[in-house]
Amino acid sequence: MFLKDYFNDIAQAVGSLLSGMRRTGYYFTHHKEIITEQYPDNRATLVLPERFRGEVVMPHNGQNEHRCTGCTACELACPNGTIKIVTKFELNAEGKRKKAVDAFVYHLELCTMCNLCIQACPTDAIKMAQSFEHSVYDRSQLTKILNKPESKLQEGVE
Amino acid sequence: MVEEIGTTDEGDLIINIGPQHPATHGVLHLVITLNGETVRKVEPHLGYIHRSIEKMCESLSYRQFIYSTSRMDYLSSHINNHCCAMTVEKGLQLEVPERAAVIRILMDELTRIASHVLWWGAMAMDIGAFTPFFHAFREREMINDIMEETCGARLTMNYMVPGGVQFDLHPNFHRRVKAFVKQLRNKLPEYDELVTHNAIFKSRTKGVGILSKEDAISYGCSGPTARASGVDCDIRKTYPYEGYEKLQFEQAMSTDGDTYSRYLVRMVEMRQSLSIIEQLIDNIPEGDFQAKTKAVLKLPKGEFYSRVETARGEFGVYIVSEGGTTPYRIKFRSPGFSNLSALDHTVRGQKIGDLVAIMGSFDLVIPDIDR
């Protein structure tokens, strides 16, 4: 009895190992089912979904105009103090003093990509970009000013 | 530490596993007292990844604090966010649109599968089988792609917000989830072939690390760890939330309480989650995905608690509000901490080689234990 159980155990063990090895053998002979992405080599063809949150950017149109009024809604919505908005006063066409954004400072190193600033923005001035390769040699390079130099507020945005 | 060494018998060996050790799945530090090969005591030392999230949340508004809970149990971040959003909604007495509730359940179950699939690979790797890890990551990648497309991130989504969800479902969501369900249904027998029926795996896990029902209750274990010992503690069944009461699914249970039954419970749970997804994916109601909320959320004075079933067990959020825009106090009840506290009791008298197998079956996520 003991011997029978002993050999039964061995047979079952070998059987279970073989059924596992059959799986391995299947993938060894079916190369098409291997789905490894060759990441740094496939950069040119890599497409990220449009909702992917890589970093905050401020789109500018052809006339170097953005939509940011400097209302600081995003600054208040941010949980980490990632955004700092420096404002200035400008004279508009009628000669009135009007608040405008001087520098939209964005600290990428603090950002957790939670999307709260984008949702808070009343004028859709900022959006998330799909870039994800953020490594730099110096931390100061991660602090960015999102509005381009000499850029203006797009007309009609209040 | 010095006192510890003083109290042990002569001939006992004290070894440290971690904080930097691949088998502890993070920065957990275990001080193990050994007598020969037999474990006499295991003492977990925490604090290596303490970020003081509860205190941080006190200075964040009710919209802002949710993102930080993704960083606790990063494998069930959706479910953590869900619980936070539910607690805030409870305080605001806000009704979530039907569509948002269904989307939330779908995302929760996808997260649960992703977590269990990852655990399956890691558990097999702890025991010495390396191949299953890659098989597991193949399926998990599909879920991550679905999440990336709909929620915009792969792990820390911050998708659940008070009142609903951040975005509507992506047009591809339906098709991709169907493809994923089909794929995982095909691959689960393969998982069984590779690991569940494997003779080496069975002999290393069967009868090892038995946690009795009484101990599971007294240590406050929850989730698959407790259900493997025969405690029926699935919050989705016992205290249903967000429409789980309308769904057909079984509570995965076992009564043996050993490592193998903890393994089996999770395997069954994956199939149950798949069937929940199948029930919902064709019946997503039309409508809003987010209820209208004020720009600044203010909870009335009082205390609010809600709980959910994460992949690891019961997760609870307790908010004390003084009526302002930020919570006065937040407490998170994380499943990992209670499950870890049962580890010492379970491992005593077992061999050192089984320690990693038992720890793997507890499915510990260290940032969840030590938040």
Domains held by chain B: number:
1
- In chain B, residues with a C-beta closer than 8 Å to the C-beta of A113 are 152-153, 156
- In chain B, residues with a C-beta closer than 8 Å to the C-beta of A52 are 148, 152-153
Tell me the C-alpha distance between B117 and B114, whole Å: 5
Give the pLDDT score at B8.
Answer: 59
Q: Which CATH class is domain A55-153?
A: alpha beta
Reading the block at residue B57, the tokens are 């949340």
Backbone phi and psi for residue A90, each to the nearest 5 degrees, phi listed first: -120, 150
Give the pLDDT score at B317.
Answer: 92
Do the Cβ atoms of B136 and B267 come closer than 8 Å?
no
Helix (H, G, I), strand (E, B) or coil at B38: strand
DSSP code, position B72:
T
- Please measure the distance between the N-terminal and C-terminal CA atoms of chain B and give it in whole angstroms: 23
Tell me the C-alpha distance between B261 and A151, whole Å: 64
Tell me the C-alpha distance between A72 and A78, whole Å: 10
CA distance A146 to chain B (A): 21
DSSP output for A32-92: GG-----GGGGGGG----TT---EEE----TTSEE------HHHHH-SS--EEEEEEEEE-
Contacts of B296 (CB under 8 A, 6+ apart): B61, B325
- Please measure the distance between the N-terminal and C-terminal CA atoms of chain A and give it in whole angstroms: 90
Tell me the C-alpha distance between B32 and B39, whole Å: 7
Give the pLDDT score at B250.
Answer: 86
Tell me the C-alpha distance between B123 and B357, whole Å: 7
Tell me the C-alpha distance between A13 and B138, whole Å: 27
Chain A residues within 8 Å of chain B (Cβ atoms): 9, 12-13, 16-17, 19-20, 22-24, 35, 48-49, 51-53, 77-79, 112-116, 119, 128
- In chain A, residues with a C-beta closer than 8 Å to the C-beta of B63 are 77, 116
Neighbours of B4 (CB within 10 A): 12
Give the pLDDT score at B1.
Answer: 44
Query: Quick one: which of A76, A56, A47, A52 has its CA closest to A124?
Result: A56
* Amino acid in the structure at residue A41: D
Residue written as token pair 């510890």 = B4
The residue extents of the domains of chain A are 2-35, 55-153
Give the pLDDT score at B328.
Answer: 92
Signed CA dihedral, A66, A71, A77, A83: sign only:
positive
Distances (CA, A) of B10 to A132, B4, B187: 56, 12, 51
Of A20, A114, A116, the CB nearest to B198: A20
Which CATH number covers residue B20?
1.10.645.10
Question: For each successive 10 residues of chain B (371 residues), what is the average pLDDT?
Answer: 52 83 82 87 88 90 89 89 91 89 91 92 87 87 89 87 88 90 89 84 87 90 90 88 87 87 91 90 87 85 91 91 89 89 88 87 87 82
Does B199 sit within 8 Å of A17, measured CB to CB? yes
Instruction: Give me the sheet containing B329-333, strands edge to edge.
Output: B302-309, B314-321, B329-333
Does B200 sit within 8 Å of A17, measured CB to CB? yes
CA distance B336 to chain A (A): 24
CA distance B207 to chain A (A): 17
Give the pLDDT score at B3.
Answer: 47
Chain B residues within 8 Å of chain A (Cβ atoms): 60, 63-65, 67-68, 131, 138, 141, 148-153, 156, 158, 166-167, 170, 190, 193-195, 197-200
Tell me the C-alpha distance between A82 and B238, whole Å: 42
Give the pLDDT score at B25.
Answer: 78
- In chain B, residues with a C-beta closer than 8 Å to the C-beta of A77 are 63-64
CA distance B31 to chain A (A): 34
Give the pLDDT score at A16.
Answer: 81
Distances (CA, A) of A22 to A26, B137, B178, B190, B293: 6, 20, 28, 10, 56
Q: Which domain holds residue B109?
A: 2-369
Backbone phi and psi for residue A92, each to the nearest 5 degrees, phi listed first: -90, -170
Query: Quick one: which of B47, B42, B43 has its CA closest to B27?
Result: B47
Tell me the C-alpha distance between B334 and B298, whole Å: 25
Contacts of B319 (CB under 8 A, 6+ apart): B87, B88, B91, B299, B303, B304, B305, B327, B329, B330
Give the pLDDT score at B163.
Answer: 87
Q: Are strands A152-153 and A65-66 parallel, antiparallel or unpaired?
A: parallel
